[in-house]
């Protein structure tokens, strides 16, 4: 149930970002759901490998290169899917930053463990 809720939150976040950031387009909520799922899969499978391969550059930039990796993956998904488009690197950088921050905050606020309260 939690996985489904996070998936919907991520899709809503993508949909909201597309309304705010010029150069990011989502053609409907279904496309946002697909893009959120593909982003989750790529971030789970490919991102760790890229982080490991670029570790020297990441260390030299004091971790800032992680933002470049996130932007490139965001741009890759935008090029991969027809219902989700990202116009360029700087748009992808802004979109990936907003996506990470907003979806993390929303998931943290909305999906608190009720037993801890």
Taking only the tens place, the pLDDT of each residue in 67-100 is 999 999 999 999 999 999 999 999 999 999 999 9
Q: Report pTM.
A: 0.89
Q: What is the CA radius of gyration of the chain?
A: 15
Q: Count CB neighbours of 101 within 10 A.
A: 11
Measure the CA–CA gap between 106 and 109, rounded to whole angstroms: 5
* Per-residue confidence band for 113, with pLDDT thresholds at 50, 70 and 90: low
pLDDT at 2 over 90: no
Question: How far, in Å, are 3, 37, 71, 91 from residue 65 at the CA level?
Answer: 28, 24, 10, 16
Domain boundaries, the chain: 2-110
pLDDT tens string 6-55: 999 999 999 999 999 999 999 999 999 999 999 999 999 999 999 999 99
Res 57: pLDDT = 97
Tokens found for residue 59: 């260390």
């Amino acid at each position: 149930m939690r996985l489904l809720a996070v998936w919907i939150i991520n899709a809503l976040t993508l949909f909201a970002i597309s309304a705010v950031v010029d150069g990011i387009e989502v053609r409907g909520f279904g496309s946002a759901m697909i893009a959120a799922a593909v982003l989750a899969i790529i971030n789970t499978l490919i991102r760790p490998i890229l982080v490991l391969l670029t570790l020297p550059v990441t260390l030299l930039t004091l971790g800032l290169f992680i933002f470049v990796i996130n932007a490139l993956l965001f741009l890759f998904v935008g090029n991969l899917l027809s219902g989700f488009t990202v116009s360029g690197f700087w748009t992808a950088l802004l979109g990936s930053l907003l996506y990470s921050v907003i979806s993390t905050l929303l998931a943290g606020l909305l999906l608190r463990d009720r037993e801890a309260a």
